[in-house]
C-alpha cells in the first residue's frame, strides 16, 4: 500500500508540474524590460504627482502609451535624463512646480476666532464642526493636515503657528493640495514669484474684518487695472492671477492696499524708488544752489 501511495502522489505531482509548466508557457505575458529599468530610475515616492497611481504605473505608461517622460516632480532632471537614455529620447527639463499657500492667516496670533476648537487635530474635523473655528470661512484652520501629508519635509510650522513651504525641498507632488479641505494650496511653477495670498470671496469690508492680519483681498480691483499684461481678473470679489500671462513685474503687489499680493522683491523696488527720489531731490537742490 505504501508503494502505491508513493506512486500515486508522485504521478499527481508530475502531472501538476507539467500542467503548471504548460500554463506558464501558454499564458506568459511579455513584460518589456524597459518598464523595470524606468521604475528603478524613478524615486519610488509613489506620490501620484505624475497623475498615475504610482511609479510602476507611470513607468508602464511611458513604455506602453508613450506618456511624457518629464512628469515625475520628485525625480527631477536626474530621473528625466535616465529615462531618456532608456527610451532613446531627448531629455526635456521638468517644469518644477512648488506649493503656494493662498492665505496669510492661520497662526496663533493672527487669526480671529469664533470659538475655541478643542477637537481632533485635523483640518477636515475642524471644518466639520460649525464650518471651522476661525472667523474667515475661507482661511487656514491651522490643524496642519498639509504638513503631515508632506513626505519630503518641505512644510514647517513657525513659533506663531504659520505654515511655510521650503521651495528647495518641495517636489510638487501635490499631497498637501489634496490634504487641504479649503483648497488653499496650489502648485505653481517655481519661476513665478508673485502670488495673491488670499481666497476670500467676501465683500471688501467683510473680508478685511474677518482676516486676522488684515491682508485680505478687498476687491478694490487696483491690481486688475494696473497690470500691464491683463494677467489678473476678478472672480466673485477675489483677484486671481493668470500665471500663463504673469511676467513677475510686481506692479500688482506695489498697488495692493492690503498687501494681499506677495512679491519678495517689493521692498527692493521700494528702496530703489526711494533712493532714486532722494538722488533726484539732491540734484534739484544742488542745481538750485548753483543758480543762487
37-66 pLDDT per residue, tens:
999 999 888 887 787 888 999 999 999 988
| Full set of structural domains in the chain with CATH | 33-87 (1.10.15.40), 96-191 (3.30.70.20), 193-264 (3.30.70.20)
Q: What residues pair up with 164 in beta bridges, in sequence order? A: 156
Separate counts of helices (H) and strands (E) for the chain: 11, 8
The pLDDT, as a whole number, for residue 270 is 82
pTM of the model: 0.76
If pLDDT is split at 50, 70 and 90, which confidence band does 27 have?
low
Q: Do residues 41 and 83 touch, judged by C-beta distance below 8 A?
A: yes
Confidence of residue 228 (pLDDT cuts 50, 70, 90): very high
Q: What is the C-alpha separation between 277 and 283, in angstroms, rounded?
A: 10
What does the pLDDT read at residue 221?
97
- Phi-psi category of 204—alpha, beta or left, where left has phi over 0 and alpha has psi -120 to 50? alpha
Q: Which region among 6-20, 28-42, 76-90 has the lowest average model confidence (pLDDT)?
A: 6-20
Task: Decide if pLDDT at 93 tops 80.
Answer: no
Q: What is the mean pLDDT of the chain?
A: 88
- For range 63-92, the mean pLDDT: 88
Condensed to tens digits (0 to 9), the pLDDT of residues 150-187 reads: 999 999 999 989 999 999 999 888 999 999 999 999 99
CA 45 to chain centre: 16
Of residues 137 and 92, the one with the higher pLDDT is 137
DSSP 113: B
Q: Average pLDDT for residues 257-270, to the nearest whole number?
A: 92
Where does the pLDDT of residue 240 fall: very low under 50, low under 70, confident under 90, or very high at 90 and above? very high
Amino acid at each position: 500500500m505504501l508503494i502505491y501511495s508513493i506512486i500515486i502522489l508522485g504521478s499527481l505531482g508530475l502531472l501538476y508540474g507539467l500542467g503548471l509548466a504548460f500554463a506558464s508557457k501558454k499564458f506568459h505575458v511579455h513584460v518589456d524590460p524597459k518598464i523595470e529599468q524606468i521604475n528603478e530610475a524613478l524615486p519610488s515616492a509613489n506620490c501620484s504627482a505624475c497623475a498615475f497611481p504610482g511609479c510602476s504605473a507611470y513607468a508602464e505608461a511611458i513604455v506602453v502609451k508613450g506618456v511624457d517622460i518629464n512628469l515625475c516632480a520628485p525625480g527631477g532632471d536626474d530621473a528625466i535624463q535616465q529615462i531618456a537614455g532608456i527610451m532613446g529620447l531627448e531629455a526635456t527639463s521638468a517644469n518644477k512646480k512648488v506649493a503656494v499657500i493662498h492665505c496669510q492667516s492661520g497662526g496663533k496670533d493672527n487669526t480671529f476666532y469664533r470659538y475655541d476648537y478643542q477637537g481632533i487635530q485635523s483640518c477636515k474635523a475642524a471644518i466639520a464642526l460649525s464650518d471651522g473655528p476661525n472667523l474667515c470661512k475661507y482661511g487656514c484652520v491651522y490643524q496642519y493636515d498639509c504638513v503631515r501629508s508632506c513626505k519630503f519635509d518641505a512644510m514647517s510650522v513657525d513659533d506663531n503657528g504659520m505654515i511655510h513651504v521650503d521651495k528647495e525641498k518641495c517636489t510638487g507632488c501635490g499631497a498637501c493640495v489634496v490634504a487641504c479641505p479649503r483648497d488653499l494650496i496650489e502648485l505653481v511653477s517655481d519661476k513665478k514669484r508673485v502670488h495673491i495670498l488670499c481666497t476670500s470671496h467676501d465683500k471688501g469690508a467683510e473680508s478685511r474684518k474677518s482676516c486676522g492680519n488684515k491682508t485680505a483681498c478687498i476687491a478694490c480691483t487696483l491690481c486688475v487695472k494696473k497690470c500691464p499684461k491683463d494677467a489678473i481678473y476678478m472672480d466673485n470679489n477675489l483677484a486671481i492671477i493668470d500665471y500663463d500671462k504673469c511676467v513677475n513685474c510686481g506692479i500688482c503687489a506695489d498697488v495692493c492696499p492690503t498687501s494681499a499680493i506677495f512679491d519678495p522683491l517689493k521692498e527692493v523696488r521700494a528702496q530703489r524708488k526711494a533712493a532714486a527720489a532722494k538722488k533726484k531731490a539732491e540734484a534739484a537742490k544742488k542745481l538750485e544752489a548753483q543758480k543762487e
